[in-house]
Amino acid sequence: MAKKSLIQRERKRQKLEQKYHLIRRSLKKEIRKIPPLSKKKKREIHRKLQSLPRNSAPIRLHRRCFLTGRPRGNYRDFGLSGHVLREMVHTCLLPGATRFRW
């Protein structure tokens, strides 16, 4: 089980990312629309992007296991880590998944 403080930190990052998602996307679109010669406008927009909170960037999000909060070895399709997925498949809790051996 992961530390609760780390799980809460990750939830906080998710909320910040959702809050600033539209702002970040619109600023990036503006940068793409500006012709290459006008560097001054690009710098201004880039400063606006830099002024957003660091934890609002989607790259800082990290997938965690839905049950245990484990940060490594996760399967995107299920949202579970490998050992939890294996236990659930062996107890037939995931329909359509076949058993596998390590």
Could you give the dihedral angle defined by the CA atoms of residues 30, 35, 38 and 39, in that order, rounded to the nearest 10 degrees? 60
Predicted pLDDT at 51: 95
Predicted pLDDT at 20: 97
Residues 6+ apart with CB under 8 A from 86: 100, 102
Residues 6+ apart with CB under 8 A from 5: none
Q: Is the pLDDT of residue 76 over 80?
A: yes
Angle between helices 4-33 and 39-51 (to 10 degrees): 160
pTM score, whole prediction: 0.74
Give the start-to-end residue ranges of the domains of the chain. 1-62, 63-102
Q: What is the spatial distance between Cα 9 and Cα 62, in angstroms, rounded to a whole number?
A: 11
Q: What is the spatial distance between Cα 10 and Cα 14, in angstroms, rounded to a whole number?
A: 6
Domain at 63-102, CATH from 3.50.50.60, 3.40.50.20, 3.40.50.970, 4.10.830.10: 4.10.830.10
pLDDT tens figures, 25-63: 999 999 999 887 788 999 999 999 999 999 999 999 988
- CA angle 7/89/84 to nearest 5° reads 20
